[in-house]
Structure 1
Amino acid sequence: MVAQVRRETGAVVAALVCGAGLLTAGCSAGGASADGLPGADSSAAERAVRASADALLRAGGARVTSTMETISGGTRVAIRGSGEYDFRRGTGRLRLTLPDPAGDGRGPRPPVTEILVPGALYMKNRGAGVPADKWVRIDATGLADGNLVTGGATDPLAAAELLRGAREVTYRGEARVDGVAVRHYSGTTDIAAAAGAASARTRPVLTAAEKGFTTRRVPFDAYLDAAGRLRKVSQHYRFANGSPRGAAVTSTTRLDDFGRRPEVALPPRDAIYAGRIAIMGS
């Protein structure tokens, strides 16, 4: 038996995100790439960005670092994570470091461990009445944001497949991410279009996200290496959060050390919390 998640209309994030923040990504000057790869040509830039998810699937697995900055009601929160992800299997394991949102001087909360699998999210050390030695299982397809925001880190495959709906893409020039030469693109992606073009594993969560955000257009900055793989992507969401203004969320995912095949084991059945949990912010 798994935990039953209590939902209320417009509730923001099911688990970790208790505020939200907008991080504006900087852009370098635009122009054509020096080696003739996708540059100033808008259609070529769109194709490069849309194909980045396929490049990650070919790469197999990668090391992941993430930052989610949110702002809601004047409160800014940043959640940072690290771990690894297998794009072919759609599975991964992350460890998230949480801030001290109460500002009570007791310091950051204990880290949260997350296991990502197609359509579901497992969380350990979640708090909110869940025993420290128990896991919570959440159906990602039942979340209003499709777990693009809920877990405090965007599922890396969902972040990549969201770019399949990229529109109005501009090549911003060459840059470096973690010492690697990359090409910087910016634009917006259409959630509905991305859902229609996504793989069978990701389509249900993107379809759910289409209904949960206040706009179907998601601004992004994407950085691709010479193999067309995402090295970094920042996506800017606007979540309803039960208010007219909603919450602004920026999720940034960085990838490196491609080719690894992480072994991600699911928690045993008797380690999954069977009680009722509340969605934070509801």
Structure 2
Amino acid sequence: MLEFLETVGVPHILCVYGLGVDTEILSACANSFKIYNSIDAPALRVPAEVSGLFDLVLTGADWQTAEVQARHPGMACAVMPIGPEFADPLTFRPLGLAKDYDIVYVAAAQPYKRHDILFDALERLPPSLRTLCVFGYGEMADDLRRRAADSGLDVDFVGPPGVPFEEVNRLMNRARIGVVCGVDDGAPAILTEYMLAGLPVLANARLSCGRQFILPETGRLAEAADFAGAITAMLDDLPAFSPRQAVLDRWAWPHTITRLRGLIAKTR
């Protein structure tokens, strides 16, 4: 990284997501405007001597902002998670495809995504319900395939490895609703990506970051034990939702860039 900076010069804006940065890199970018976004549930995933060098921290929830400012009083913060607030309405969009799945679940095949909540719900729902799981990466894919087979669930799987964004959008378009099951998770980008594809979202009511994207017109929040009932209720009431328009009005990236530009100017 240092060699790269020496070769091409330091950026006007440096964005750091999660891990993978140290004081040497940030010092080399002393004249850059430095932005940190966790992308995961811990507000700051770097030591204090690193996080103290940022000009602006983007968080996914008010509690994260409080944690950042407890560590660095006066630090500029904004609840503006990189994933869902910078969603692209051209990449994720309705395609008018036939809806041959009831549910789509796009997530890493890793334990923190809490696939068990969805599969527990599916085992309580009618076997006629069709589900599609799309995994980019992760070590649980084979276990989940076995569970679906052992339980007689009508679940199809794609990946790992992952597929291009265009294919993710096409696969989402084949379903009626999207689900987010995680608890100890940052604000997942998939929240508004589902919505831009025209799908209302059922999310875990205990999701650490990102519950603000679930509005009456975009989806529902439910406790893990209530997921089965919430899935049924949403599938029975699909005309009540208008998720894409809600995102276009509030969170698509042109709105967020305007806010970010103002924050950078104010902080500087």
Tell me whether the two structures share a fold, i.e. TM-score over 0.5: no
Tell which structure's C-alpha radius of gyration is larger.
2
TM-score category (smaller protein): under 0.3
Q: TM-score, normalised by structure 2?
A: 0.25
More strand by share: 1
Question: Would you tell me which structure has more helix in proportion to its own residues?
Answer: 2
